[in-house]
Structure 1
Amino acid sequence: MERPGGVHEDDPLGGDSVTPEHAALIDGEPLPTARVNAFLEAPYRGAGLHQFAAPPRGATSHDGPAPARRQMEPPSVARQRRRWATQVIVTDELARRACADRGLRVPEELSPAKALTLAESDVADLGSIVAAALAHSPAARTLLAALESEQTVPETAVRDYYDRNQDRFLTPDALRRGVTPFDGAAPEDVRVYEEVREAISRELQRAAGHQAFFGWLDQARAGVTYSHGHEHPGDPSHPDHEHRH
């Protein structure tokens, strides 16, 4: 049976399926499926399966070229890859709108031929969807930078972080000698607070910016309705869902 707004295509499992003309509705406005398709067809390299669903198959090491064509993959993997890509494009569109509302200037789009590269550390910290959205979307990066700049880190929080993480601030000499705070490091084995205060403050501000971005994204996605086949890859209402932490 054909769903409204879609066209029939061959189902890899056999039978008919439907490709909707839009991947999602954002506050009632359609997000064209063509944008998801373009993202799926773009070169990719970077981190592999993480948290919510698999990034596009065919990923190589960070230094190797992306293959011209992806190898055949199980239909369930292809479906999850499309759902994952939809989340990236939805995040991009939501960020564009948020930047427009805030009067933020967004840099020009990346060239479609530019390979999407995800750092393993970013995937670990952010999850594959948000990491990919930030790598793909100038608007998402612009919004994140704005949110980060708005965060204020109290001096007490910076000092508390320093006091609770002495192992991160051992001097090079102490590290060479194998000193650890748990063995009773001497005061001279730890870098003084004034030397590391600014770096700690930047790190905490960056973390607070990420949390603000996550909070914004959770609220912004409340106005999104997904078309069949484009649901969140972790949505338990469809049989292929994956939700990894």
Structure 2
Amino acid sequence: MTEHAALVAGDPIPTERVNSFLGSAPLRGAGLYQFAAPPRGATSHNEPAPARRQTEPPSVARQRRRWATQVIVTDELARRACAARGLKPPPEVSPAKPLTLAESDVADLGSIVAAALAHSQAARALLAALESEQTVPETAVQDYYARNQDRFLTPDALRRGVTPFDGAAPEDLLPYDAVREGISRELRKAAGRRAFFGWLDQARGTVVYSHGHEHPADPSHPDHEHRH
């Protein structure tokens, strides 16, 4: 049996790290990534289902292992990136409770990256560093304010059913100066996430996966699915 799930820049990632992560993310439901992407309206998975784990189709178990490998590889890559940048994230600790993901994060980031950020302090530290490096031009903030006026209607305008499409008056909108900081923060966050995705895509180029640990969407294995 292969003792490593992947090689990162030639260094082995032990399968035990993948097994440990799988053990910290109990299943809920029988879906492929149910423990990664909660059902609509749910925000956590804290109901282990050992019976389902025993009876799940082999193809589902294989895909789950591949998915978990991606999370662990992302953690390893982030640790190395933090070290290269001189960042020192807090030491990793064994999870005291099942992995918890926000449904919005899964929708926005994909379940692999969302789970990696929930699991890995190094990934969170790297994302924070990338976000802090982003510069948002004033023109971008102004443009966002102008194009998304439905987000900046006053409470009174909302009560009256005013919409920008009907021609909102200036007094129906929150003043630009009052919302400018929040818009800038949101745009910086989005830019930081794009930078994180760009980093991850490039960093994965150093990874060689063992058989049974390929990316879930890798077309070279028969069970592949384009799901994240």
Q: TM-score, normalised by structure 2?
A: 0.91
1:63/1:132 Cα in 2 relative to 1: closer, same or farther (>3 Å)? closer
In 2, the alpha carbon distance for the partners of 1:137 and 1:46 equals 22
Q: What secondary structure, in the 3-state scheme, does the structure 1 residue paired with 2:56 have?
A: coil
Q: Structure 2: which amino acid aligns with 1:89?
A: I
Structure 1 equivalent of residue 225 of structure 2 = 242
Deviation at 1:56, TM superposition (A): 4.1
CA contact (8 A) 1:22 1:32 kept: yes
**Structure in which a larger fraction of residues adopt helix:** 2
Choose from 56, 65, 83 the match for 2:46.
65
Give the counterpart of 2:20 among 38, 58, 70.
38
Contact 1:95-1:140 within 8 A present in 2 as well: yes
1:70 & 1:132 partners in 2: Cα distance?
24
Provide the rounded CA distance (Å) in 1 between the counterparts of 2:177 and 2:58: 56
**Residue 169 of structure 1 corresponds to which residue in structure 2?**
152
The alignment's TM-score, normalised by the length of structure 1, stands at 0.85
RMSD (Å) for aligned C-alpha atoms: 2.2
1:149–1:209: 8 Å Cα contact kept in structure 2?
Answer: yes
Q: What SS class does the counterpart of residue 46 from structure 2 fall into?
A: coil
| Paired residue total | 224
The CA deviation string for residues 76-120 of structure 1, in whole angstroms up to 9 with x for no partner, is 100000000000000000000000111101112233332210100
Q: Distance in 2 between matches of 1:107 and 1:98?
A: 14
Which contiguous aligned blocks of 4+ residues in structure 1 show a shift greater than 6 angstroms?
A: 45-49, 57-60
Alignment partner, residue 6 of structure 2: 24
Give the whole-Å Cα distance in 2 for the aligned partners of 1:116 and 1:220.
Answer: 24
235-244 vs 184-193, which moves further:
235-244
Give the gaps of 5 or more residues in structure 2.
none
Q: Distance in 2 between matches of 1:144 and 1:207?
A: 11
Corresponding position of 2:83: 100
- Percent identity, aligned pairs only, is 74
**Paired residue secondary structure (1:25):** strand
Structure 2 Cα separation of the partners of residues 234 and 67 of structure 1: 26
| 1:151 and 2:151 correspond | no
Give the deviation of 1:242 after TM superposition: 1.1
| Structure 1: gaps of 5 or more residues | 1-6, 8-19
